[in-house]
Structure 1
Amino acid sequence: MESMIKDIKLAPSGHDKINWVKNFMPVLNSLNDELSKSKPFLGKKMVVTMHLEAKTAYLGLVLKNAGAEVVVTGSNPLSTQDDVAAALVESGVTVYAWHACSDEEYETFLHKALDSRPDIIIDDGGDLVSLLHGSRSDLAENILGGSEETTTGVIRLKALAAEGKLKFPMIAANDAYCKYLFDNRYGTGQSTWDGIMRTTNLVVAGKNVVVAGYGWCGKGVAMRAKGLGANVIVTEVDPIKAIEAVFDGFRVMPMTEAAKIGDVFVTLTGCRDIITKESFAVMKSGAIMANAGHFDVEINKDHLKSMSVSQRTVRQNIEEFVLQDGRKVYLLAEGRLVNLAAGDGHPTEIMDLSFAVQALSALHIINNHEKMKKEVYIMPDEVNQRIAELKLEALNISIDHLTEVQKTYLSQA
């Protein structure tokens, strides 16, 4: 299969990026050493659809070293790094992706990847699963199982499973402790602000920051905003999460109220139409909007365009919209994932944990697919424990262990 990438000559800088992240991914390095010897995926085909940057590339190489025939595509048109894609191709991985691809090209890449007739899939957002339950459903019977990286994708999976329509077992990697406790909270928290700050070059301290959604990602973004000196406002639809935000020290109010006082808005709900015409109508001039949810539907761009008299790019990854009354509002990275479209994604050490979850999810499927039902599974706790132990070992941190007496005490009825 011939890859489709921007330019193979970009590979040298891509190799440099991959080699850099390998220095800070000790858990994945340990799994690479182990799986390279046992080669549990020998003879199996795997399709990985994720944000194609250096950390994802290293996961692809670990799977290849474990014996798999690996095909990688991007899960977002703006998050693919062309030099990394080229380096992967030089390393023997088939790649269908390039930066800023059109919607049609993006769809083509997914179809080309599925043409490999994979045994296992690793999805990010559910686009692969959607195709395998739609126009490419003829391939579903070949799938031993797969895993899903994001909250958005898991929501889609659970909806399929609830309707009895899921065609193969899927592991909700996003719901593993070693994923959401660290990736969603610390990873999204840091990388979102990295994307916003490097794009705008503006101070955060003293600004009113509106965080839409107080799940693990929202908690991380709100925590980091507070640490940077912002006045944080949270919007929520879940009363339990709303009261949690209050107890964490944040103001909570509806979006239409927050829109009047917000300086920076960050959406992280996994839903659509979080910021719409009602909010645009009352925003301050100079308000900045960014999205860190998987799809570019949280900030309604159609509403924004219809209310604007002009639209132009004023700085890389910043679009200025002049509203009919002369107010100017700004949208970052086309409303796509700001931490990847305008940054390098989550910190390397965080993705070390997340991609260990993905590698071990694939291993779990290989070892257990014959007895797995067409359901959504959560990573077994012992796998999370193993990942955490490997990470602690790499950090040279020791912890206490239960004595036999303590184990007996805790197991008593």
Structure 2
Amino acid sequence: MDHHVKDLTLADAGKARIEWADADMPVLAQIRERFEAEKPLDGVRVSACLHVTTETANLMRTLQAGGADVVLCASNPLSTQDDVAAALVEHYGIRTYAIKGEDTETYYAHIDAAIDHKPQITMDDGADVVGRIHADRPEVIEHIIGGTEETTTGVIRLAAMSDDGALKYPIVAVNEANTKHLFDNRYGTGQSTIDGIIRATNRLIAGRTVVVSGYGWCGRGIAMRADGLGGNVIVCEVDPLKALEAVMDGYRVMPALEAAAQADIWVTVTGDINVIDSGAFDAMKSGAIICNSGHFNVEIDIPHLREKAVSTREVRPLVEEFVMADGRAIYLLADGRLVNLACAEGHPASVMDMSFANQALCAEFMVDQAADLEPGVYEVPEEIDAAIAELKLASMGVKIDTLTEEQERYLSSWQEGTI
């Protein structure tokens, strides 16, 4: 197969939405214009495993403009926008393997199709391609010069591989760029997660208790947006510094079992397993809504929830009701998968503009520098981060000050002190 999407007749609708997103991605557009002229990725085979959204489509167009031979597969079974996948195949000639709602077997078949491309660069969101290559497809490693990783969960997996000496090629942790995690993770996840919850449930946030497990940049964003809509926010954390920060930001902080009894809506965003577990299910009040905005659907112990339930049913699209033996009902959104992508459209284009600008420029960096890099996880070069911030400010019409020669000289000297 040169593609596997749901329905190619959706392509025109997908193209219109891709163009709509592109209008709010000026940084990536500028990079695409330069790539078109310079062809820094000429002939480079790229296998990308990302959420197949309108914003991702514009990244694929940018890589293609730079000369790359691109294949795209989904990084989550529920995050694909089927019209976008169709448009990528039909209008942009990009081999795409992604169908919303695909089962696990199809999901990994699509990843294998991307690996069959014998990539020179891998581009991951969650490290599933890297994991599959190292565990089951090591024969393609000889072709790979490097890769990039988009999300916190993937960076955690890659760091573990690197620490174990298992990682066989260099990968840039795009997630660690300031122009990614300070904005995408906070403002993107914050808005899109609340958007997904509201679209799925049509429940009012104001006056309800919203529990957020994890106070990293994503958790900060979710708490901020829930608070802004009138929610009473509780934060659950294991890191004392992050917990202290949440307290100073004005939120209640408590252990998960205490929060479980108060939760009207509970969002996990930790990157860890079984954050909402058996004890939490026992403590929850009837009507509680639980969901996840971390990458994998392991943050909620769904198998145990199914075991405890005496009945289940879908009450709304992607809203599943679990009735306990004592009559309480617990509602799970999107089978515990990324609620912002499964129930909504993911991050807004303007914030993904910076994240995907990082992806494009880091692909270029990898082509230029891979020969000098040992296997391992690398941070985004500071000059790339700064260049993206400058381009974003310029696109917004925002100007900033520059240091005078006197100020630069003062900051680089030690001779002057108290006057």
Q: What range is the shorter-chain TM-score in?
A: over 0.9
User: What is the one-letter code of the residue matched to 2:164?
Assistant: E
Alignment correspondent of 1:80: 80
Alpha-carbon offset, residue 190 of structure 1: 0.3
Please say if residues 317 and 333 of structure 1, whose CA atoms lie closer than 8 Å, have aligned partners that are also in contact.
yes
Alignment correspondent of 2:239: 238
Please say if residues 276 and 300 of structure 1, whose CA atoms lie closer than 8 Å, have aligned partners that are also in contact.
yes
Alignment correspondent of 1:110: 111
Alignment correspondent of 2:205: 204
Alignment correspondent of 1:23: 23
Residue 302 (structure 2) pairs with residue 301 (structure 1): yes
Alignment correspondent of 2:53: 53
Alpha-carbon offset, residue 409 of structure 1: 1.4
Alpha-carbon offset, residue 406 of structure 1: 1.1
Alignment correspondent of 1:359: 360
Secondary structure of the equivalent of 1:329? strand
Residue 376 (structure 2) pairs with residue 403 (structure 1): no
Please say if residues 305 and 321 of structure 1, whose CA atoms lie closer than 8 Å, have aligned partners that are also in contact.
yes
Alignment correspondent of 1:276: 277
Alignment correspondent of 1:146: 147
User: What is the one-letter code of the residue matched to 1:292?
Assistant: S
Measure the CA separation in 1 of the matches of 2:331 and 2:298.
16
Measure the CA separation in 2 of the matches of 1:142 and 1:257.
51
Measure the CA separation in 2 of the matches of 1:412 and 1:150.
39
Alpha-carbon offset, residue 164 of structure 1: 1.6
User: What is the one-letter code of the residue matched to 1:144?
Assistant: I
Matches within 5 A, 1:8-407: 8-90=8-90, 91-407=92-408
Structure 2 length as normaliser, TM-score? Answer: 0.98
Alpha-carbon offset, residue 115 of structure 1: 0.5
Alpha-carbon offset, residue 225 of structure 1: 0.8
Measure the CA separation in 2 of the matches of 1:231 and 1:141.
53
Per-residue displacement from partner, 1:99-127 (whole Å, max 9, x unpaired)?
Answer: 11110000100001110101001100010
Question: Please, which runs of 5 or more residues in structure 2 have no aligned partner?
Answer: 415-419
Secondary structure of the equivalent of 1:319? strand
Measure the CA separation in 2 of the matches of 1:232 and 1:153.
28
Measure the CA separation in 2 of the matches of 1:231 and 1:166.
43
Measure the CA separation in 2 of the matches of 1:109 and 1:411.
53
Secondary structure of the equivalent of 1:198? helix
Alpha-carbon offset, residue 412 of structure 1: 2.1
Question: Please, which runs of 5 or more residues in structure 1 have no aligned partner?
Answer: none
Alpha-carbon offset, residue 92 of structure 1: 1.1
Per-residue displacement from partner, 1:289-339 (whole Å, max 9, x unpaired)?
Answer: 010000000011111111110000000110000001000110011110000
Please say if residues 141 and 167 of structure 1, whose CA atoms lie closer than 8 Å, have aligned partners that are also in contact.
no
Measure the CA separation in 1 of the matches of 2:10 and 2:188.
28
User: What is the one-letter code of the residue matched to 2:37?
Assistant: K
User: What is the one-letter code of the residue matched to 1:45?
Assistant: R
Structure 1 length as normaliser, TM-score? Answer: 0.99
Measure the CA separation in 1 of the matches of 2:168 and 2:178.
26
User: What is the one-letter code of the residue matched to 1:27?
Assistant: V
Measure the CA separation in 1 of the matches of 2:374 and 2:167.
10
Measure the CA separation in 1 of the matches of 2:401 and 2:195.
35
Measure the CA separation in 1 of the matches of 2:237 and 2:218.
13
Alpha-carbon offset, residue 282 of structure 1: 1.1
User: What is the one-letter code of the residue matched to 2:140?
Assistant: L
Alpha-carbon offset, residue 82 of structure 1: 1.2
Secondary structure of the equivalent of 1:154? helix
Alpha-carbon offset, residue 3 of structure 1: 0.9
Secondary structure of the equivalent of 1:355? helix
Alpha-carbon offset, residue 404 of structure 1: 1.4
Alpha-carbon offset, residue 142 of structure 1: 1.1
User: What is the one-letter code of the residue matched to 2:375?
Assistant: K
Measure the CA separation in 1 of the matches of 2:219 and 2:242.
10
Over 2 Å off, 4+ runs: none
Measure the CA separation in 2 of the matches of 1:322 and 1:67.
54
Alpha-carbon offset, residue 242 of structure 1: 0.7
Alignment correspondent of 2:5: 5
Query: What is the aligned residue count?
Result: 413
Measure the CA separation in 1 of the matches of 2:242 and 2:323.
34
Measure the CA separation in 2 of the matches of 1:184 and 1:281.
31
Alpha-carbon offset, residue 25 of structure 1: 0.2
Measure the CA separation in 2 of the matches of 1:318 and 1:406.
58
Measure the CA separation in 2 of the matches of 1:185 and 1:407.
32
Secondary structure of the equivalent of 1:71? strand
Alpha-carbon offset, residue 30 of structure 1: 0.4
